[in-house]
Amino acid sequence: MPKMKTSRAAAKRFTRTGTGKIRCNHSHKSHILTKKKRSRKRKLRKSGLIASVDVPRVNKMILT
């Protein structure tokens, strides 16, 4: 059976932390920024962690 390929789309969007959690960037920060509060835009700049229920699915996609 051949090896599974890494999903390149997922590999570009998710990174693994040293403790094994999966980090991702927030959405809604590229356009129509005038109506969003300054604090909201500042919080969107930082990366977040995905939910624990999604970790097995993303692990399967990135295979690292």
pLDDT digits (tens, 9 = 90+) for 3-51: 889 999 999 999 999 998 999 999 999 999 999 999 999 999 999 999 9
Query: What's the pTM?
Result: 0.78
pLDDT of 63 reads 79
Cα separation, 37 vs 15, whole angstroms: 28
The residue among 61, 36, 59, 62 whose CA lies nearest residue 26 is 36
Is residue 64 over pLDDT 70?
no
pLDDT of 3 reads 86
